[in-house]
Amino acid sequence: MTASPSRRWAYLALYESERRGQDPRSLLEKLWGEGKEGEGKPEDRALASALVQGVVREKQALDRRLSLYVRGPLDASVRIILRMALYQLLYLSRIPPRAVVHEAVELAREFAPRALGLVNGVLRNYLRKNPSREAPSPEEVFPSWLVAMWEEELGLAETRALLWALSQVPDTVVRVNRRKATLEEVKASLLLQGVEVEGGRLFPEEALRLRKTRGLRHLEAFQKGWIIVQEESSMAAVAALDPQPGELILDVAAAPGGKATYIAEKMDDRGEVVANDIDRERLRLVKENAERLGLKSLTYTAYDARQLPSSWARSFDRVLADLPCSGLGVLHRRADLRWRKKRDHIDQLQRLQKEILMGVVPVLRPGGVLVYSTCTISRKENQEVVEFLVEEMGLQPEDLRPYLPPALKEEPSAPYGWVQLLPHRHGTDGFFIARLRKEGNP
């Protein structure tokens, strides 16, 4: 007897993630890509993905409960097996407890044989004392420093709503490439392949929210260049930039290409979009996406944005600076990030953001527009950086309302040049957008 494929995949990805410090989702995809653990059924892959995401997301709460039943440290292999089992007992009500215990014992038999009795005993003891399946509250599954920071910046009620939203499994969101297909053609194609489809919330004519995708690469719409993965908050940043045909536009940190290709589409593929990214491997993704979408107006550079070529000075009509950040607005998509980030990382990232902007603002022509954006919820990385752009770099904030989709035009901060999107309010990732203009005549 061996554990089911879904549990083996999840265990291997989680174990390697803990050992190497890598994103467990990418390790899971690598397992499937190499075929070392067999192809498996779609439902096995779906369960493996749910286990990986869930165990990472709820790690703190799971470990707190395990500490009530286990004294002393555990080997990584045993700890992961017990986390997986406890996650199923707490959250996956369709799986009988007896099956959960059996699968955990089989994993222990293969990967931690000396602890087989321990695993069996801990889980049976847990079930005797906890017959009901009461899941932890959202406050239990986020680092205490983060909860405290959000309570200070957003207030208690807003923070609780945000924690709940970031504890949900998000939809996959795609942008329709309307140069190649209509929204209805894409919807029909996806439905024929068994994908559940819902219209976008901010951009209903351009975005689709997908469920039960089991990956995108096998879909006709993806292969034909009809869609690209892009969250609607990211689309809103490009809307705020308002690119025009024939312009010269810089995307400072372009990978994997959602925003750069959307800029090109907005320009009707006329003009030039300089897609820059310091990571050459990730820059390759931008080029692959642009080619799949049939776009020809992009060029590609791999400069450190703090040190752009002097020949670029005062050249660009518009600049999109979607900069490296703590990623706190996408914790529902990247559950592992919540345990890797520390409060002092935010200070470090703010310094990096300012250094990049000091390198970027000089390449913007007088009268040109800069959009600053991040996928985080942090005053230090967002509003304080806008203050820096105004007070230290001499840019002027502009009213965002003419450029935003209707659902965002009434945001109270929009007249002042910025908006903070929040998952529980807007149904998007947590995302910050600010629009500023450089003084002077073109």
Find tokens 């024939």 and name the residue. Answer: 246
Q: How far apart are CA 381 and CA 348, in angstroms?
A: 10
- Rounded to a whole number of angstroms, the CA Rg of the chain reads 23
pLDDT above 50 for 37 = no
Among the listed residues 231, 208, 229, the one whose alpha carbon sits nearest the alpha carbon of residue 429: 231
Q: What pLDDT, in 10s, does the model give residues 305-326?
A: 999 999 999 999 999 999 999 9
Q: What pLDDT, in 10s, does the model give residues 375-430?
A: 999 999 999 999 999 999 999 999 999 999 999 999 999 999 999 999 999 999 99
Name the most confidently modeled range: 9-13, 268-272, 334-338. Answer: 268-272
Position 92 confidence tier, pLDDT thresholds 50, 70, 90? confident
pLDDT above 70 for 38 = no
Q: How far apart are CA 230 and CA 188, in angstroms?
A: 20
Pick the residue with more confidence: 182 or 30?
A: 182
Mean pLDDT, the chain, whole residue set: 91
Residue 99 identity? A
Q: Domain spanning 5-132 has what CATH number? A: 1.10.940.10
Between the CA of residue 90 and those of 7, 44, 62, 253, 436, what are the distances in Å? Answer: 16, 19, 9, 40, 47
375 is catalytic: yes
Spatial CB neighbours of 412, under 8 Å, sequence gap ≥ 6: none
The pLDDT assigned to 34 comes to: 58
> Please, which contacts does 40-45 make with residues 24 or more away whose CB atoms are closer than 8 Å?
40/5, 40/6, 40/9, 41/5, 42/214, 43/6, 44/4, 44/5, 44/6, 44/9, 45/6, 45/9, 45/214
| 342 token code pair | 């520390």
Indicate the burial class of 212 (C-beta count within 10 angstroms; 0-12, 13-18, 19 or more). Answer: exposed
Could you state, in order of their start, the residue ranges of all structural domains in the chain? 5-132, 172-229, 232-438
Spell out the CATH class of 172-229.
alpha beta
Residue pair 418/383 in contact by the 8 Å Cβ criterion: yes
Q: How far apart are CA 68 and CA 281, in angstroms?
A: 45
Residue pair 144/118 in contact by the 8 Å Cβ criterion: no
**Residue from 356, 371, 375, 433 carrying the catalytic annotation:** 375
Q: How far apart are CA 202 and CA 8, in angstroms?
A: 39
Q: How far apart are CA 362 and CA 243, in angstroms?
A: 19
Q: Domain 232-438: give its CATH superfamily.
A: Vaccinia Virus protein VP39 (3.40.50.150)
Q: What pLDDT, in 10s, does the model give residues 136-180?
A: 677 677 888 999 999 999 999 999 999 989 988 888 999 999 999
The pLDDT assigned to 36 comes to: 47
Among the listed residues 324, 197, 194, the one whose alpha carbon sits nearest the alpha carbon of residue 252: 324
CA-CA-CA-CA dihedral for 65, 68, 72, 76, to nearest 10: -20
Q: What pLDDT, in 10s, does the model give residues 353-368?
A: 999 999 999 999 999 9
Please determine whether the domains at 5-132 and 172-229 fall in the same fold group of CATH: no
Q: How far apart are CA 25 and CA 261, in angstroms?
A: 25
Q: What pLDDT, in 10s, does the model give residues 17-29?
A: 888 877 888 888 7
Position 198 confidence tier, pLDDT thresholds 50, 70, 90? very high
| 410 token code pair | 């009434």
Question: At 409, is the secondary structure helix, strand, or coil?
Answer: coil
